[in-house]
Amino acid sequence: MTTRTESEGDRGRRFVLAPNIEVNWRQTVWIFIGISSVCLGVALVCTWFGFWPVLPFAGLEVTALGWALYTSARRSLDREVIYVVDNMVTVEKGCGRAEQRWEMDRSWTEVQLRELHRHWGETRLVLRSREQTLTIGAFLDAQERRSLDRALRACIGPMARWGDDRPVAAIDSDEPRASWASGIAANAGEKTG
């Protein structure tokens, strides 16, 4: 998994969380066609010689392979984007585009890294603001979640910003701001995993 931190003008920061999967759709389709052709070709030859039960199993195998490749490729588009700008924390989640959005008051938002006692070493990173609780970085591993926890605590939370009206210092970034849908796959800043 990857995380990327960018400046949000000079007013805050943006964290982009993405799976560390980069899929080329054209290559994926060609790999699927190649493997399917070989598998179904062998099944048809077997059917020609009377071993017809091979054909349904080959069909199931090709279907399962196609489903797995599609699911994996689609998962590469998952994103979680966290904006910490002025006095707002905004979290957007989606696959290829922002599908869900949450807004929280930065002064009243707390970052919590919770230990899951029933799972060894597993943690859950949570943003909590008043009655609202939001789990973020679910696809990150434990070390990546700890790193993100430290970065978020530096700019979110009642104690971090208490009595300080200055904007959060932005990280220098020479890259142009990437849009939600494109250019997100490239890593800049922190990279883990």
Q: Assess whether 84 and 60 both reside in one domain.
A: no
Last residue of a domain, one of 57, 76, 95: 76
Band (pLDDT 50/70/90 cuts) for residue 37 is very high
The tens digit of pLDDT for each residue in 68-95 reads 999 888 888 888 999 988 888 999 999 8
The tens digit of pLDDT for each residue in 121-134 reads 788 899 998 888 99
Structural domain containing residue 37: 25-76
Asked whether residue 185 is assigned to any structural domain, the reply reads no
CB-based contact 16:4 (threshold 8 Å): yes
pLDDT value, residue 192? 41
Q: Assess whether 62 and 150 both reside in one domain.
A: no
* Of the listed ranges 96-105, 146-155, 168-177, the one predicted with least confidence: 168-177
Amino acid symbol at 118: R
- Which pTM was predicted? 0.65
